[in-house]
Chains A and B, each alone.
Chain A
């Protein structure tokens, strides 16, 4: 009992100290605020989706500045013959109220655009894992200042509204990407679906995601503030987000100037919650959950990668590279074929040469033998002549 008394005593002692004197621990968040504001942060997002799903427009609308310039026709046609998925990194530095963000937007032209789209998500998965790898290596360096952190914090997967459900390509790609990165599915060009079909489409997508065990990003809902919790709940219930992108401003019938798309039959507004979920997605990406995206990338995804790698590799060892880029494989095959072809030709040539030489040698040998026989014959004749005329001693000299 005396023991318990002691415990209680210490508890009350601790509480009293803080509430009465206030040593200034409460000021820590302010200090942190100053430090973070000065340091700024890195934020990287990767856009994945077929061409024409509105990725470029969406990004330009989200950050209200033309980060990515759309391709022109001739570049596009060249790309069509390319049959590869490119990784294009667009860097920008955004500043708002003295807070700096080093933004990296990664575009993936060529994804899902070709007739044969097998493994088209591999370059993307490789890229994301490479960023983890780079960060891992940099962490292991003796000098760790000036770390370049290109780890991808969010992947926006643009789904084309086909009115039914996810395509097999979408399912496989999302499975692969969602396992290593925060995956946020987005329904693009939502202005081509009526509200009822959109609801049905969203439900089907969620059903498929659950059935196929695709891991998507779910923001934390509960928070101390009741209004924040309800807002979070709104956001989560609207997933996957249906967005419209537009960087042009149009005049609505009631006189407002809004960002939107002007049709002959009306104006679809970007920032109107009844028309699309753009505001909710923007809130998720920037206003409310950017920090959570960054943290979850660093804490769960990167950590999982790091643990897995460290189990199999020694400290400081390089990662075994898997070269399974299809185009390179094809080129390698072609080169190898040419090489073996050349080697075969040369070997043939040498063999022919060899047989020619052997033939030549045989011929010469034959001639030699013929001569030899001739000589023998003559010798024999001489002997014969000598033995037939014994008196002729002249020849023996």
Chain B
């Protein structure tokens, strides 16, 4: 799932990730309607990729309209409802007597949250969103349009963001959650954790470089290479998302987040039932 205010490169990111146009360009807005607030939409796109020999059916949910209005409180509730409804479907399916063998699991495994490159840490919108959604889905923080920053500024911004995460105790995905894994993996995870949030630059065009075609973004003063690790964390993030940690994300969602939700939901139902019994007793 991709969440972030418009203009941070969500669409470009997915298209670059899948190396083809998954999300079409947005319809140009009518200037006459520019003062009207557009409600948030949930657009689903499905694509298939082969990564390192594995077939991946990637479902991307884009959320245009997030944070673009004047009063954005309803955005959080809508996101939460969407994610919870996927959990509810699975809950319902599990409690059926005859289960549908072809049931498709629509739970959201990763939420990529695009931060605005303000240079001043997290905004109120980001803090509130992560606080509410971190208990239902794995949140990974990204810096959209990271080519706004120089190298020093990126380091400073990342530091500010992580400081904010600690101050407000925000529940983002912790790469080192599995203590039982071997020390090598643990060390790797800790290194990855130190790079969060990932700085992302989206690709406009492909040009011919020294070693074949490279994906770039061209400016009058220079060219940004997308896959160059010195210039952006895109390559690293792609590897983590589709290769090394894909099973971790799915496991964590199914075994930890979903189980917590299930327990909470069933407890609520139990409380409701016991309350109903009490009422009946009182009436008698």
Q: Bound state CA distance, A261 and B220, in angstroms? A: 13
Interface residues, chain A, with chain B CB atoms under 8 Å away = 50-53, 71, 73, 76-77, 80, 83, 113-118, 160-169, 171-172, 175, 189, 191-192, 194-195, 204, 207-208, 210-212, 261-269, 274-275
Complex: A53 Cα to B150 Cα, angstroms? 15
Q: Are A166 and B220 in contact (CB under 8 A)?
A: no
The 4 A-B residue pairs with the shortest CB-CB distance, nearest first, are A266-B222, A52-B118, A162-B7, A211-B31
Given contact pairs A77-B167, A164-B6, a sample of 14 additional A-B residue pairs in the complex whose CB atoms are under 8 Å apart: A52-B120, A80-B123, A80-B124, A117-B71, A162-B8, A167-B68, A168-B36, A168-B37, A171-B34, A212-B31, A263-B150, A264-B151, A265-B222, A269-B221
| B212 is an interface residue with CB less than 8 A from chain A | no
CB of B5, distance to nearest CB on chain A (Å): 7
Decide yes or no whether B225 CB sits under 8 A from chain A. yes
Interface hits, B219-264 → A, CB 8 Å: 219-225, 230-231
Asked whether A265 lies within 8 Å of B7 as measured between CB atoms, the reply is: no
Name the residue on A nearest B7 (C-beta): A162
Determine which of B116, B145, B225 lies in contact with A265 in the assembled complex, contact meaning CB atoms within 8 Å: B225
- CB A109 to nearest CB in B, in angstroms, measures 10
In the assembled complex, which residues on chain A have CB atoms less than 8 Å from the CB atom of B124?
A: 80, 83, 113-115
B50 interfacial contact with A, CB 8 Å: no
- Complex alpha-carbon distance, A208 and B73, angstroms: 26
A171 to B28, CA, bound (A): 16
Specify the chain B residue showing the minimal Cβ separation from A211: B31
CB<8 Å pairs between A and B, sample of 14: A51-B120, A52-B117, A77-B121, A164-B7, A168-B36, A168-B37, A169-B69, A191-B147, A192-B145, A195-B219, A210-B31, A263-B147, A263-B222, A264-B151
| CB-CB under 8 A for A207 and B31, given A168-B37, A264-B230 | yes
In the complex, A208→B33 CA distance in Å?
9
Option from B31, B73, B225, B230 in Cβ contact (under 8 Å) with A204: B31
A115, A160, A164, A171 interface centre (most CB from chain B within 10 Å): A115
Give the CA-CA distance A263 to B222 in the complex, in Å. 9
Residues of B within 8 A of A51 (CB): 118, 120, 123
Question: Contacts A164-B29, A167-B68, A211-B34 known; A194 to B218 CB distance under 8 Å?
Answer: yes
Query: Is B35 on the interface with A (CB-CB < 8 A)?
Result: yes
Q: A115-B72, A211-B31, A263-B147 are in contact. Are A194 and B204 (CB under 8 A)?
A: yes
User: How near does chain A come to B126, taking the closest CB pair, in angstroms?
Assistant: 10
Nearest Cβ in chain A — how far from B217, in angstroms? Answer: 7
B residues 21-45 in Cβ contact with A at 8 Å: 26, 28-32, 34-37
| Residue of A with least CB distance to B11 | A163
Residue of A nearest to B38 (CB): A168
Choose among A73, A192, A266 the residue that contacts B121 (Cβ–Cβ < 8 A). Answer: A73
Residues of B close to A162: CB separation below 8 A: 5-8
Q: Complex formed: what's the CA distance from A377 to B8 in Å?
A: 100
Q: How far is the CA of A381 from the CA of B150 in the complex (A)?
A: 115
Chain A residues lying within 8 Å of B117, measured Cβ to Cβ, are: 52, 189, 192
